[in-house]
Amino acid sequence: MTQVLSGLRVVPRQSVLAPIVMGKAQESPAFSTMEIQSLVPQLIRALKQARPEELVTFYRRISDSSVGLAITSGGLFVCQTHLYVVLANQRTLPSAGMNQNIVAEIDPIDSPLLPIARSGFRVTFTPALAVVPIDEREPWPYIDEGRVVAVDLIQLARETPKAQ
């Protein structure tokens, strides 16, 4: 689980012209070391208790001086040898979903798979060889396919260097 959370990356979504002007968007880790240490035992316990058809969700409120209150949430489930990870929100401000039609902040505490803002980022994974191509995944519809990654756990084990 530590390998999976450590391998998750977020890439800012850009307008069509942004890559021409600013270059390729930089990916960054989806979780800090401290967040990984906190989430791993809970996610392992939840996955052990989950039935095969169940999805495990997570929700974290983060507060720091640079961002203020932000939310990271999502879910994961196992299908055969693939681990599907949905990162619905990644350090997303509750006000990011506000527009002229919605004037209240959104907090998906009861629905951790609900993205607060529709744009913002997409999820990737390192090592890329462990990512299951979209055409080889089990169909699982989600609001934003860019926030779902399927990791081949067997391939991930092959790609991970053995401790010496």
CB burial of 18-47 (b: ≥16 within 10 Å; e: otherwise) equals: eeeeeeeeebebbbeeebbeebbeebeebb
Q: Around 156, how many Cα atoms within 13 Å sit in the side-chain half-sphere?
A: 19
Q: What string of H, E and C letters represents the secondary structure of 29-79?
A: ECCCHHHHHHHHHHHHHHHHHCCCCCCEEEEEEEEECCCEEEEEEEEEEEE
Question: For 98, which DSSP code?
Answer: -
* Among candidate residues 137, 131, 124, 138, the one with its CA nearest the CA of residue 156: 131
| Confidence (pLDDT) at 42 | 97
| Confidence (pLDDT) at 160 | 76
Alpha helices in 50-160 (DSSP H): 153-159
| Confidence (pLDDT) at 2 | 96
pLDDT tens sequence for the chain (164 residues):
999 999 999 999 865 454 555 556 689 999 999 999 999 999 999 999 999 899 999 999 988 777 678 899 999 999 999 999 999 999 888 776 544 455 455 666 788 999 988 778 999 999 999 999 999 999 888 989 999 999 999 999 998 776 44
CA 52/CA 96 separation, integer angstroms: 34
| Confidence (pLDDT) at 92 | 87
Q: Around 164, how many Cα atoms within 13 Å sit in the side-chain half-sphere?
A: 1
Cβ count near 125 (within 10 Å): 22
| Confidence (pLDDT) at 65 | 74
Domain boundaries, the chain: 2-159
